[in-house]
Amino acid sequence: MANLVPFPANGARMPIVSFDRRELSEILKIYGRMVAAGEWRDYAIDTLKDQAVFSVFRRTSEMPLYRVEKNPKLARKQGAYQVVAAGGLIMKRGHDLSTVLGVFDKALKQAEAG
């Protein structure tokens, strides 16, 4: 005899954290400048239950160079946004995405100059 399992209703979806249009615009502006400078070549966006992650790659087959993470649970503590380097080092975290993305300004200036 088979056990019947009810199919979840449309309203019972699990919430997913994602970047909104403004956030993606800021991230892609930095990404485009780094691609034009020849530093970055690929990206991936992951939307998970508890966080959203924008990963940047030098080559597609490698591990990500940087991850821009949005974690709303940390919004009242350290800030919802953080940039994480390849080794797991948190380079910058904060409440404002444009301030957190400022960590790439130095690398961008060096890439554009050289």
| Stretch 72-82: mean pLDDT | 88
**CA torsion angle 106 107 110 114 (round to 10):** -170
| Stretch 19-41: mean pLDDT | 92
pLDDT of residue 4: 79
Q: Is the pLDDT of residue 91 over 70?
A: yes
pLDDT of residue 55: 95
- The torsion region of residue 35 among left (phi > 0), alpha (psi -120 to 50) and beta comes to alpha
| Stretch 4-21: mean pLDDT | 76
Q: Is the pLDDT of residue 9 over 80?
A: no
* Average pLDDT value for the chain: 86
